[in-house]
Amino acid sequence: MKGRLIPLGFFDAYTNMALDEAIFIRKQGANSAPTLRFYSFRPPALSLGYFQRIGEEDFRKRCLPHPCPSGRRGQAGVSGGGKEPSRRSFDIVRRITGGKAVLHEGELSYSFTASRPHFSLPLLSSEFYQVVSRSIVKGLKFLGIEAMLNLQSSRKVWSSLPAERAFCLSSLSEYDVILADSSAQRQGRKLVGSAQRKRKGIILQQGSIFINNVNLPDLAESIVRGFAEELRIEFEPAELDKEEIKLARELRKNKYSSREWNYKR
């Protein structure tokens, strides 16, 4: 089976979400191949799950009172004679997929979109989630990172990430990717946060992979190998087509950069 690979790109939050939805929508009306896209967020951003209420977490308290590195976008002036830390400012965007909030800052994010005619497995949400997680586990092994699937029901988990980044990693669901480590302290740490949207036989899965001290292009390359081996898909680098780009621009302008969408709950 042939697949389409959209290489790693660095975009703002509104553009990233618009690109993923454009691929998702276009796949419903076109006989296109499974699409795997990698991206990162510049500047850093907070993405909310579709059903999440903006007041559900104290985002401002947990995310903002931290020093902003010099030269980064969003650095605020320091008041009080320099006694107070500068406060980060970042975009807030609502995803069309579910799940909890994620603070995106330097991690590798992905989206994988597939339709029933081009996928050998039934498109049940849980099965799709499982095969994507297996693909990521296999990809991580190429980097010497031993990971595995969580086979337990939903529960709270320990995370080594700072509190301001641990929203989606604070709970563990069946088939989530976790660290397989001999250390009792580290074993079971959630490595990937993912969420889905399904419509008319099409599934979009978005996720973020939290691996420290790994070059993002190398990580993306390894994950592609994992998908290719697990799903027997031959991925070919490609660009978005003109209609996807046009739709993404419209979605970014009229939806993802609007307060009506991002603060709808």
Residue 116 has pLDDT above 60, yes or no: yes
Q: Which amino acid type is present at position 83? A: K
Contact by Cβ (8 Å): 78, 127: no
Mean of all residue pLDDT scores within the chain: 81
Per-residue confidence at 85, pLDDT binned at 50, 70, 90? Answer: very low
Choose the weakest-confidence range: 5-19, 80-94, 122-136: 80-94
Six token digits for residue 86? 């500068």
Q: Which domain does 37 fall in, by range? A: 2-262
How confident is the model over 78-89, as a mean pLDDT?
A: 39
Per-residue confidence at 115, pLDDT binned at 50, 70, 90? Answer: confident
Contacts with 107 (C-beta within 8 Å, 6 or more apart), sequence order: 40, 208, 209, 210, 211
How confident is the model over 195-200, as a mean pLDDT?
A: 91
Longest Cα–Cα distance in the chain: 63
Contact by Cβ (8 Å): 21, 251: yes
Does the model's pTM come out above 0.85? Answer: no
Please count the structural domains in the chain.
1
Q: What are phi and psi of 69, to 5 degrees?
A: -55, 145
Contact by Cβ (8 Å): 104, 208: yes
Per-residue confidence at 165, pLDDT binned at 50, 70, 90? Answer: very low
Number of helices and strands (H, E) in the chain? 6, 13
Q: Which tops the pLDDT comparison, 224 or 159?
A: 224
Q: What is the pLDDT of residue 124?
A: 72
Cis peptide upstream of residue 43 (ω within 30 degrees of 0): yes
- Assign residue 55 a region (left: φ > 0; alpha: ψ between -120 and 50; beta: otherwise): alpha
Residue 65 has pLDDT above 80, yes or no: no
Q: Residue 55: count other Cβ atoms within 10 Å of its Cβ.
A: 9
Contact by Cβ (8 Å): 171, 154: yes
Q: pLDDT digit string (tens) for 219-253?
A: 999 999 999 999 999 999 999 999 999 999 999 99
Q: pLDDT digit string (tens) for 16-26?
A: 999 999 999 99
SS3 state at 223: helix
Kindly give the residue spans of alpha helices, DSSP state H, lying in the chain.
13-29, 59-63, 125-141, 216-231, 242-251, 259-262
Per-residue confidence at 184, pLDDT binned at 50, 70, 90? Answer: very low
Choose the weakest-confidence range: 45-49, 99-103, 191-195, 203-207: 99-103
- Residue owning tokens 């994010």: 109
The domain that holds 182 is classified in CATH as: 3.30.930.10
Per-residue confidence at 182, pLDDT binned at 50, 70, 90? Answer: low
Per-residue confidence at 197, pLDDT binned at 50, 70, 90? Answer: very high
